[in-house]
Amino acid sequence: MTEHDSSTQGPDRAPARPPVADRAAFEAEVARLRLREKAHTREGDAIAAARRRLPMVEVDATLELTGPDGPVTLLDAFEGRRQLIAYYFMWHEGHEAADQCEGCTWVTNQVRELGFLYSRDITYAVFCQGPYEESRRYRDFMGWEVPWYSALPSNDELLTGREVGSMHIVCYLREGDRVYETYWTTLRGVEVMDYDYALLDLTVYGRQELWEDSPSGWPQTMDAPPEHPMRTNGRPIPQWSRIEEGRSDDLTPGS
């Protein structure tokens, strides 16, 4: 195998690339990596098994949410199913669409088909941490069809012991009229909702973000600050296709 091509990026130069090998050498390297991938998969299965054995904590089933028809309860959000997965969407009240959370926009944009969850008696819903009408207009701008509620009336109680205003996934179990919390995660834990990063991680250049451990000369996304790799040209990346379609991103209620 030859050394890495260390050519630097520039307007007239291609990014660096891996060394070239014959098929046998390539397959041998893939086989070595596959051992690690399989170990990673088995560890993920073991972690999921441990997650299924966690205790649970009761949550007030009457905690108030706001839905399309006004106040509802946490119990109502189950829509009669046994389990509920709630994504707690960060919200910057009174700010324009361009200023809303790029991370929450990124992961929410990828949850579309819910039929498989329904087949396992699970409801999925977004619990936005901002006013219903303002955030609902953002949902409509983005073209999302998932169930949408405002958790603003009960944020503090629903996220007891956690950072209100941050992104969270919380899983619930219903037994009759009683509700229990069974698991929660935040920050990079919400990547389970994503397929973009999962696919990017398979490619030679990866996510192209500054924090990654990549060889010298690998391309990196330079039009977004390191702390906001999901933004480009001042907006969360998925917004641009909606703007190009001519959709209104005015979040002002009643406009």
What is the per-residue pLDDT across 1-34, written as a single tens digit (0 to 9) for each? Answer: 333 443 344 445 678 999 999 999 999 999 999 9
Contact 249, 140 (CB under 8 A): no
Placement of tokens 């990017």 in the chain: 200
pLDDT at position 227, please?
63
Provide the whole-model pTM: 0.89
Pairing of strands 178-186, 231-232: unpaired
The list of the chain residues with pLDDT below 50 reads 1-11
pLDDT at position 221, please?
73
DSSP annotation string for the chain: -PPP--PPPBTTBPPP-PPP--HHHHHHHHHHHHHHHHHHHHHHHHHHHHHTT---EEE-TT-EEEETTEEEETTGGGTT-SEEEEEEE---TT--GGGS-HHHHHHHTT----HHHHHTTEEEEEEESS-HHHHHHHHHHHT--S-EEE-GGGHHHHTTTS-TTS-EEEEEEEETTEEEEEEEEEGGGGGGG-SHHHHHTTSTTTT--TTS---TT-----SS-TT-TTEETTEETTHHHHHHTT------TT-
pLDDT at position 254, please?
73
Q: What percent of the chain has pLDDT over 70?
A: 92
pLDDT at position 1, please?
37
Contact 15, 208 (CB under 8 A): no
Residue of 51, 137, 135, 121 lying closest to 88 (CA atoms): 135
Q: Determine whether 73 is exposed, middle or buried from the number of CB atoms within 10 Å of its CB (0-12, 13-18, 19+).
A: middle
pLDDT at position 124, please?
98
Sign of CA dihedral 186, 189, 193, 198: positive
pLDDT at position 222, please?
59
Pairing of strands 178-186, 168-175: antiparallel
